[in-house]
Structure 1
Amino acid sequence: MLNVTYKEEPITLSGEQLSVGDPAPEFTVLDNKMNPVTLSDFEGKIKLISVVPSIDTGVCDSQTRRFNEDANRLDNVKVLTISMDLPFAQKRWGGNSGINNVITLSDHKDASFGRAYGVLIEEMRLLTRAIFVVDTEDELYYVEYVEEATKHPDYEKAIQTAESLSEERGS
């Protein structure tokens, strides 16, 4: 069991924590137009899944912007940011921020992603900060649950994993 904190207070995560080599669980989230989106919708693509508590906070905003910048150099990689924010808020944030390389998705309806990936904070019904890199066969190649949810993830390791998968798969 992971010891994850939020503002240095212990939190409880729902679902099983995943590891490198595990199959990526299926999930259903909503896009900015309230349409359902699943893992299967990105079949055959490498997925870098950036999980944030709320897109409207400083670290989450920075994390999403950072991956948006890096997405330009990632061939055959879809960069997804998933949070519990409402699709309307994500759309507004995206429009105001100029983000165009990251797909923002909302898990607010069923917490399907949060439970499947072990990132749902029970006490707050938010998602804890995490990064997952999933290959074209939907196997997890990189997993990071950030120990303190208000801190930044290891951007470089996640990007390097996605880049190496992209090169390996001959995109």
Structure 2
Amino acid sequence: MNSSTAYARQDVRYEPDERPPHLLSVVLGLQYALLNVTGIVLTPVIMIGSAGGSDAYLSWAVCAALVISGITTVIQSVRIGRIGAGYVLLMGSTAAFLAVCVTALERGGQGLLSTLILVSCLFQFALAAKLSLLRKVFTPAVAGTVLMLIPVSVATTFLGKLTDVPEGASPAAAPVTAG
């Protein structure tokens, strides 16, 4: 063991199975929740705003996203058999399906979006059961490329909103009103 490794280990405050004080855990948990709630809320806001949905539907979607994210985060945190990670793993909205969801809302409304979500959920459950067989197809290079392309779909949706300025507003206000 060289001296740089020994020095790095002296800076570790808590070992992996060691529990920090309750107050520190609560403060760090609140910080983690506040950092992640924006992503959970922003995804339905962009999706429904881009599809031209009503304010009532937007309120319902944001509430549903927060509740579902909370429930699934608790399920991930509490390991029961093979279900759950056994540690805090935030489950939230993702922008990966934003373009598809906006298209579903525009073409078929809430019913098509709900059907799309249920079918894709069942498909993901089926894939998760046989994920070890797919590791040869979904290599780190393939998965990394797909993850890097997610902002491209978000950017096209968001940039399309930049031309949608309310009547009477200055065109320079487009970035402020794009949501």
Larger Rg: 2
Point out the structure with the larger helix share. 2
Band the TM-score falls in, shorter-chain normalisation: under 0.3
Name which structure has the greater RCO, CA cutoff 8 Å, separation 6+. Answer: 1
TM-score, scaled relative to structure 2: 0.24
